[in-house]
Structure 1
Amino acid sequence: MLRRAFLAGTLALALPGAVGAATLTLRTEPGIVPYGGTVTFAGVLAPAQPGVPVAVYVQAGSTWQLVTQGATQPDGSYRLAALARYAARAYAVAQLDAATQVASPQAVLGMRPRLEARVRGGRAVGERLVLTGSLLPAGAGRLMLKLGKETSRVRPGARGNFRLVLPATLPGRVRWSLFLAPKTGYAAVRVARSFLVSGSNLALGSSGSAVRGLEARLDDLHYVLRGVDSYYGYDTYEAVLAFQKVHGMRRTGRVGADLWRRLVRADVPRAFSPSGTHIEVSKTKQVMFEVVRGKVASVVHVSTGATGNTPVGSWRVYRLGPGGSLNHMYYSIYFLRGFAIHGYHSVPPWPASHGCVRTPLWFAPGFYARWGKIGTRILVYP
C-alpha cells in the first residue's frame, strides 16, 4: 500500500546499529525509478517475526525523512511503497520491542529525472522561437542545450521550469537537444528534436525580422552593409548583389529559396592573394575585397570598365582625390594614370564605367578613410 511521498515530515534521527543477532536488509525496486514514480522498499528481517513495525527513512540534506512504514510478513519480509521525488540514500528500521531496534545497511535509491521540452513560435527566418520545458527534480544535475554546433548551459528555476529564446537566423532544419550531466544517484536523460525554418522571398523595400536575419548573415560573411536594421534598402540590395556575384548566381539583388540555401552553406570568401594587407578587384566577379593580413575583411559590389579596359595587375596608390569632382567621382584613390577606385551614383551589376572601379556612394567615404594612403597596394584580377 502506498504510504506517503518523500516530502513527509522531517525526522532528525541517527542511524541505530543492529541489536543482538537480528538483521534487517533493504533494497529498492526498481533500482532506478522515474521521477514521481512508485518505489518499493523491500527486505527481510531475520530471524523471521511477523507483524514487526518497519519504517523507511530517506536522507534529505543533514536530516532523514520518514517516507513509509508497515510491518513484516510471517516470513520476515516486508514491501513498502512510496512516491519518489529525488535520488537519495535510504535505510529501514525494525522495532523489535519497546526498547530494541535493528537498522538495515543503507541502500541507494537511483532516479531517472523527468525532462520535457518543446519549441513554440514562428518557423520563418527572424521570427521568435521559444524553447520551454521542465526538469524534475530541478537539482538533478547540469542541464545543457546543444543547438547546431553550439552548446550552452540551461538553468531551470526552483520548480524546474526553463524558457529560452532560440535564434531562427537561417532557413533549413535546425536540430537541438537537451541533455543532463547527472549528479550522483541520477540517470542521464536527453531530449532531441528538430524544426524547419523557412526563408521568405525578399527584395528592395522589404522589411521585418526576415530582412534582419538576412542582413545578420550577410554581415557574418563580411558583405558590406550600412547596418543590420531590418530594412531592405540599397545597401542590402548591393550586399545581395555582391553575394550573388561571388557565388556565380544571377545578379538580381533579390532573395529567394536558392539564395537562402547558399547563405546557409556559405563561408567568408577567400582572398585571391592570401597574404598581406591590400585591395583586390575581380573584373570577372565585379566585386572588391578589403584584405587584412591575408583575410577578407569586407566584400563590396563594384562596376569596372565597360570595355574591359580596367588595367589588370599589381598597382600602388599614387594620388588621392578627397570629396567630389566635376566628373562625379567621389573620394577617389588613383592607382594608374586616370584609373581610380571611387564612389559613383550608379553602380550596376555589370561593367559600366570608363575604366575606373565604381563603388556605392555611401561606401566611398569610409573606404577612403581606411585605404586613402599613398602606396596602398591594389591588385586587379581578370
Structure 2
Amino acid sequence: MGRRAVLIAVLGLCGLPAAASARPPVRPVLPPTQASIDLRLEGVAAGGVLARTRWVVRGTVTPYVPGQTVTVRLRRSGHKLLIKRLSIERSGTTGTFALEYRTSVAGRIVVSASHRATPEMATAIAAVRRVDVLPRYAVLGTRGPAVRLLRTRLARRGYVVNSSDRFDLRMARAVTAFRKLTGMPRTAVADERVFRRLARGEGGFRVRYPSHGRHVEGDLTHQVLALIDVGRAARLYPMSSGAPATPTILGNFSVYAKTPGTNQKGMIYSSYFIRGFAVHGYIDVPVYPASHGCLRVPPEEAISIYAWIRIGTRVDTYYR
C-alpha cells in the first residue's frame, strides 16, 4: 500500500467518531396511555324510552389521545343490533364521541363501548348501560316483550298481573286499576301514556293508614281496592263501591264475618266489615260506583282476596 493510500485510510478512521456523534439521540419508547371511558344516555327518561324515539349514546374518554377510535355495541336479548366504530374527538383535555339510535321494537338494550389497545393508548372498556325501550300500545290478546315489560312494571307497584307473555283479562284489570289511580280514562288499553307514566314511576298506591298493619283500604275516589301489608300495597284491584243512591259507608272497620261461595244476592266469597257491607266478588264490576254499598271486586279475584282477608282484618274506606 502506498503512502497516499495509508494516509487516506487513517484520515477516514479519524472521522468516524465525528460522524457518529452527529446522529440524533434515540427517543425512549413510551408505554401506551391509560385512559377511561364513561358512557351516558341522552333522551332516555327514568325507566326507559318509547319505541321509535331518538336517543343518544354519548361518551367521554379521559385523557384525550390523538388518532384513537372507540367501538360501540348495542345488543338486545344477547343478539347484535349495531356495532359502530367512532372517532374520538378532542374536547379540551378529554375526548368525546356520540351515536344516535332509535328502534321500533320493545325490549331491553345493553350498550357497551370499548377501545382496542394501540401503541398510543391502552385497552379501555366502559361500564355498560341499559335502556328499556317501551312499546307504545298493548291490548287484550297482545303477546311478547311489550307485555313482559308491562307486567313487570305493574307488578312492582302491586298490581295483580298474570305470569305469561299474553295480555289477558287479569292484565286488563291491572291496567284499568293503574289508569284509575293516575286519573286517566278508565279503560283497559295500555297506550303510549300508560307506558310513559310507568317509565316515570307513577301509579303507586299511597297508603292512608300505614299504622293499621295488614289491612284493606278502599279508595272510593279512584275506585281501587288495596291489600296493605308492611306499609305498602301488596295487591291492587279495580273495584266498584256504592252508587250515589246507596253509598259505601266511610270509616275504619274490622271484618267480623266471612261466607264462602255465592249467596242468593250474587255476592261471591264475602268478607263483612259492618252490617251487610262486605268486600266480595260480583259478576258486574263497572269502572264507576254501582254497588249497594259493598266493595265489589272482579269475580276471578274473589277467592284470593277472600283468602287474604281474616276475621279481624281492618277495612278502611275513604275519599282522597
Aligned partner of 1:318 in structure 2 is 256
Residue-by-residue CA offset, 1:26-59 (whole Å, 9 max, x unaligned): xxxxxxxxxxxxxxxxxxxxxx9699xxxxxxxx
Write the letter of the residue equivalent to 1:78: V
Q: 1:315 to 1:208 in 2, by over 3 A?
A: same
* Alpha-carbon distance between aligned partners in 2 of 1:130 and 1:245, rounded to the nearest angstrom: 39
Aligned partner of 1:288 in structure 2 is 225
Q: 1:195 to 1:358 in 2, by over 3 A?
A: closer
User: Cα RMSD over matched residues?
Assistant: 3.7
Aligned partner of 1:116 in structure 2 is 71
* Alpha-carbon distance between aligned partners in 1 of 2:129 and 2:190, rounded to the nearest angstrom: 28
1:1-382 equivalences under 5 Å are 74-75=22-23, 77-78=25-26, 108-110=31-33, 115-120=70-75, 130=80, 169=107, 176=111, 178=113, 186=122, 190=126, 197-225=133-161, 227-267=162-202, 268-275=204-211, 276-307=213-244, 308-371=246-309, 373-382=310-319
SS in 1 for 2:273: strand
* Alpha-carbon distance between aligned partners in 2 of 1:291 and 1:175, rounded to the nearest angstrom: 36
On the 8 A contact 1:169/1:217 being kept in 2, the answer is no
Aligned partner of 1:143 in structure 2 is none
Q: 1:195 to 1:302 in 2, by over 3 A?
A: closer
TM-score by length of 1: 0.55
- How far 1:194 moved relative to its partner? 8.8
Unaligned runs of 5+ in 1: 1-47, 52-71, 81-89, 91-106, 122-126, 135-166
On the 8 A contact 1:179/1:191 being kept in 2, the answer is no
- How far 1:200 moved relative to its partner? 3.2
* Alpha-carbon distance between aligned partners in 2 of 1:330 and 1:272, rounded to the nearest angstrom: 27
- How far 1:208 moved relative to its partner? 2.4
Identity percentage over the alignment?
34
Residue-by-residue CA offset, 1:162-205 (whole Å, 9 max, x unaligned): xxxxx9558xxx8956579x9xx947564898978352322222
* Alpha-carbon distance between aligned partners in 2 of 1:187 and 1:379, rounded to the nearest angstrom: 61
Write the letter of the residue equivalent to 1:235: R
* Alpha-carbon distance between aligned partners in 2 of 1:334 and 1:349, rounded to the nearest angstrom: 22
Q: 1:176 to 1:318 in 2, by over 3 A?
A: same
* Alpha-carbon distance between aligned partners in 1 of 2:306 and 2:218, rounded to the nearest angstrom: 15
Following TM superposition, the consecutive aligned residue runs of length 4 or more in structure 1 with deviations greater than 6 angstroms are 48-51, 131-134, 191-196
Aligned residue pair count: 246
Write the letter of the residue equivalent to 1:211: V
On the 8 A contact 1:216/1:228 being kept in 2, the answer is no
* Alpha-carbon distance between aligned partners in 1 of 2:73 and 2:158, rounded to the nearest angstrom: 34
* Alpha-carbon distance between aligned partners in 2 of 1:278 and 1:196, rounded to the nearest angstrom: 35
Bigger proportion of residues as strand: 1
TM-score by length of 2: 0.65
Write the letter of the residue equivalent to 2:135: G
- How far 1:206 moved relative to its partner? 2.1
* Alpha-carbon distance between aligned partners in 2 of 1:191 and 1:374, rounded to the nearest angstrom: 52
